[in-house]
């Protein structure tokens, strides 16, 4: 009861819309069709009271044999049926109603050869068509098509999209149509004479095959692309292409003929399933293409709800019936899809490339789909070109999206290449900077090592080189003198009685005496090649490269003379002084001797100087 009440409200809601439109018959522009339909008769049965037998009793079948006078209709006395003649130019279009329409079409073959006629039945969304063919020599044939036929009846009847009528020479046939519709009724029937394909028919068939081939290629390519790259965009795009393919197969009758013709309730409701699938796919594709999830997260939630809300129509199909479900679904999907186009236009206005391509590609398809929907609910007139326009719009969006996909891939590849080049430049600059930093750090480390090494070679108290430095550098001086065959001289200087100074004036006074002696020697031996080393506690050695004995002796005298003018004071301001002894040795080094023999000679000379008192200089004399 509630179901009938809802259906009544739904019909009452749509009826004023349909009544506001002035429905006119469709003009037959095909000259062949004008001749075929010129003898059409029809009657209306809005209350669906007439049975097939009652209608058949009102028809005169006595002239189905060879005749030149045509077929005459008679009114049965028991049946108040009124057959009306239809004009030559028009195919019936009766407006919004839910009753039955009957039509009778006589066919004649006035030639001497056998003819065949093809009755093509489109797959209507809200129309039910029964076709009965009566000939003299053949039994009654029955063809059915339409979504309002109950499933149990569909599987027991011959449901095909076309039928062939064979007319022998000089014979007639009668074709009886019964059409029931819950929308604006348009004849979903085309009558053609069977002959070789014309160029126009071949072109139409080629276009149809090209359309399905392009859509199928799209689906395969996008699913393959998804398997390789795992991009959600390609998955939704392939899903959309598959749903479009199923939708056109359902409204054109191809699916009924080759796939789901005997699937019972699915065959009846297939247009609902394909429309739901196409709606979900196009919504998902729009969300992915326009990146709504990241750009408009709140709107993304709303659109996701609207997208999957279409699944409710699977329940409405069971509860409210096919007609209400399909009409409401078409209205809902048209409104939401056009809303996606409006959103794409808004994003396009704000410089969005994705919104631009979405509008350009999908707007024609959505608009033609809306026109198709309006014609099926009785608000506009149906033209066969609408289905072709929908196919052209689908192919157009296919080509546009192929361009969008390829250009996007090219831009992404270019951006990736550019980012890689920038990364290489940054890496190169960073490497150069890192190398420079490493060089700087290495240089600083070398300097620090040199400074550390130098610090290890310097005597902290006197500031002169230490014994380690002497042991390291002195052999080099000997080799240099050997190489140049030059003299090398040594001065070995020792402070006399340093222990007495430490005992009487303090250790600080002794340290001061050592520093003073080091400074004094450095002031006298000023050549760059001369250098001074603290040999032990109170003894220094002066290395004089390229210096003969006489010059070394003179330098020792100068050092001794400089000491005579030196007076020191300790911490208690007590004045003190010290003396020193100097041993001098000089020679041209020889390969067959130990490099330190000059040092031994200087030590011998120093011992001789100390043996003769303090403040003495002794020169080592080579034995004769």
Do you know the residue count of the chain? Answer: 624
Range 80-96 average pLDDT: 43
pLDDT of residue 603: 92
pLDDT band at 33 (very low <50, low <70, confident <90, very high): low
pLDDT of residue 532: 92
Check whether 14 has a pLDDT greater than 80. Answer: no
Check whether 389 has a pLDDT greater than 90. Answer: no
Cα–Cα nearest to 267, from 145, 179, 122: 145
Check whether 490 has a pLDDT greater than 90. Answer: yes
Q: H or E stretch including 104?
A: strand 100-109
pLDDT of residue 162: 57
pLDDT of residue 1: 42
Helix axes 322-349, 265-289, angle to 10 degrees: 10
**Is residue 493 classed as helix, strand or coil in its secondary structure?**
strand
Helix axes 322-349, 2-19, angle to 10 degrees: 60
**In sequence order, which residues have a C-beta less than 8 Å from that of residue 75 and are 6 or more positions away?**
58, 81, 82, 83
Specify the pTM: 0.54
Check whether 394 has a pLDDT greater than 80. Answer: yes
Selected residue with higher pLDDT from 165 and 337? 337
Cα–Cα nearest to 160, from 146, 140, 144: 144
Cα–Cα nearest to 64, from 168, 167, 171: 171
Check whether 595 has a pLDDT greater than 70. Answer: yes
pLDDT of residue 152: 54
Cα–Cα nearest to 99, from 2, 13, 178: 178
Check whether 607 has a pLDDT greater than 80. Answer: yes
Residue range 496-506, pLDDT digits in tens: 888 888 888 88
Of 143-147, 272-276, 346-350, the range with the lowest mean pLDDT is: 143-147
pLDDT of residue 280: 92
146 dihedral zone (left: phi>0; alpha: psi -120 to 50; beta): left
| Helix residue ranges, H only, 39-177 | 52-57, 151-154
pLDDT band at 487 (very low <50, low <70, confident <90, very high): very high
pLDDT band at 79 (very low <50, low <70, confident <90, very high): very low
Check whether 302 has a pLDDT greater than 60. Answer: yes
Structure tokens at 396: 């157009």
When the pLDDT of each residue in the chain is averaged and rounded to a whole number, the result is 77
pLDDT of residue 134: 83
Q: Which of 28-37, 115-124, 384-393, 418-427 has the highest mean pLDDT?
A: 418-427
Residue range 514-547, pLDDT digits in tens: 888 888 888 888 888 999 999 888 899 999 999 9
Of 41-45, 352-356, 381-385, 584-588, the range with the lowest mean pLDDT is: 381-385
**In sequence order, which residues have a C-beta less than 8 Å from that of residue 264 and are 6 or more positions away?**
151, 154, 155
Residue range 436-456, pLDDT digits in tens: 888 888 888 888 777 777 777
Q: Which of 240-249, 256-265, 541-550 has the highest mean pLDDT?
A: 541-550
pLDDT band at 241 (very low <50, low <70, confident <90, very high): confident
pLDDT of residue 77: 34
> DSSP letters of 290-345?
TTHHHH-HHHHHHHHHHHHHTTHHHHHHHHT-HHHHHHHHHHHHHHHHHHHHHHHH
Check whether 73 has a pLDDT greater than 60. Answer: no
Cα–Cα nearest to 189, from 179, 197, 199: 179
pLDDT band at 318 (very low <50, low <70, confident <90, very high): confident
């Amino acid at each position: 009861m509630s179901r009938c009440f809802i259906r009544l409200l739904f019909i009452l809601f749509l009826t004023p819309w349909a009544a506001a439109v002035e429905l006119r018959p469709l003009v037959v522009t095909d000259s062949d069709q004008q001749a075929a339909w010129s003898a059409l008769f029809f009657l209306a049965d809005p209350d669906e009271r007439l049975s097939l037998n009652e209608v058949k009793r009102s028809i005169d079948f006595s002239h189905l044999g060879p005749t030149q006078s045509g077929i005459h209709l008679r009114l049965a006395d028991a049946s108040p049926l009124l057959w009306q003649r239809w004009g030559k130019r028009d195919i019936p279009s009766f407006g919004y109603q839910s009753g039955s329409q009957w039509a009778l079409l006589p066919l004649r073959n006035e030639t001497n050869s056998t003819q065949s006629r093809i009755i093509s039945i489109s797959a209507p969304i809200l129309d039910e068509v029964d076709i009965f063919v009566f000939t003299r020599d053949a039994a009654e044939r029955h063809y059915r098509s339409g979504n309002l036929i109950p499933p149990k009846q569909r599987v027991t009847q011959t449901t095909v999209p076309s039928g062939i009528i064979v007319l022998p020479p000089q014979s007639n046939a009668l074709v009886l149509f019964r059409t029931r519709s819950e929308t604006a009724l348009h004849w979903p029937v085309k009558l053609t004479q069977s002959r070789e394909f014309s160029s126009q028919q071949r072109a139409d068939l080629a276009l149809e095959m090209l359309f399905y081939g392009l859509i199928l290629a799209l689906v395969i390519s996008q699913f393959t692309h998804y398997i390789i790259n795992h991009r959600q965009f390609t998955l939704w795009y392939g899903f959309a292409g598959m749903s479009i393919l199923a939708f056109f197969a359902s409204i054109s009758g191809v699916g009924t003929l080759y796939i789901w013709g005997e699937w019972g309730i699915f065959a009846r409701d297939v247009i609902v399933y394909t429309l739901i699938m196409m709606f979900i796919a196009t919504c998902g594709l729009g969300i992915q293409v326009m990146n709504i999830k990241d750009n408009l997260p709140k709107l993304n939630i709303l659109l996701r709800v609207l997208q999957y809300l279409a699944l409710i129509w699977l329940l409405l199909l069971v509860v409210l019936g096919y007609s209400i479900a399909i009409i409401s679904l078409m209205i809902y999907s048209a409104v939401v899809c056009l809303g996606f186009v409006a959103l794409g236009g808004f994003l396009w206005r704000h410089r969005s490339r994705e919104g631009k391509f979405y509008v350009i590609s999908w707007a024609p398809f959505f608009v033609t789909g809306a026109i198709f929907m309006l014609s099926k609910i009785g608000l506009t007139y149906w033209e066969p070109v609408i289905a072709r326009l929908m196919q052209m719009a689908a192919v157009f969006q296919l080509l546009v999206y192929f361009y969008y996909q390829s250009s996007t891939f090219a831009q992404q590849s270019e951006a990736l290449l550019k980012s890689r080049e920038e990364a290489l430049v940054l890496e190169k600059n960073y490497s150069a900077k890192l190398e420079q930093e490493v060089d700087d750090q290495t240089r600083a480390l070398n300097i620090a090592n040199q400074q550390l090494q130098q610090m290890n070679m310097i005597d902290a108290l006197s500031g002169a080189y230490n014994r380690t430095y002497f042991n390291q550098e002195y052999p080099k001086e000997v080799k240099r003198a050997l190489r140049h065959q030059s003299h090398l001289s040594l001065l070995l200087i020792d402070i006399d009685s340093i222990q007495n100074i430490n005992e009487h004036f303090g250790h600080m006074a002794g340290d001061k005496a050592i520093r003073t002696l080091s400074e004094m020697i450095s002031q006298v031996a000023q050549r760059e090649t001369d250098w001074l080393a603290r040999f032990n506690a109170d003894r220094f050695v002066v290395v004089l490269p390229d210096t003969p004995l006489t010059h070394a002796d003179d330098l020792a005298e100068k050092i001794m003379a400089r000491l005579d003018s030196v007076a020191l004071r300790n911490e208690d301001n007590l004045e003190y002084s010290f003396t020193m002894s100097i041993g001098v040795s000089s020679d041209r080094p020889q390969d067959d001797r130990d490099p330190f023999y000059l040092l031994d000679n200087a030590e011998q000379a120093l011992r001789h100087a100390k043996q003769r008192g303090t403040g003495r200089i002794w020169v080592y004399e080579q034995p004769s």
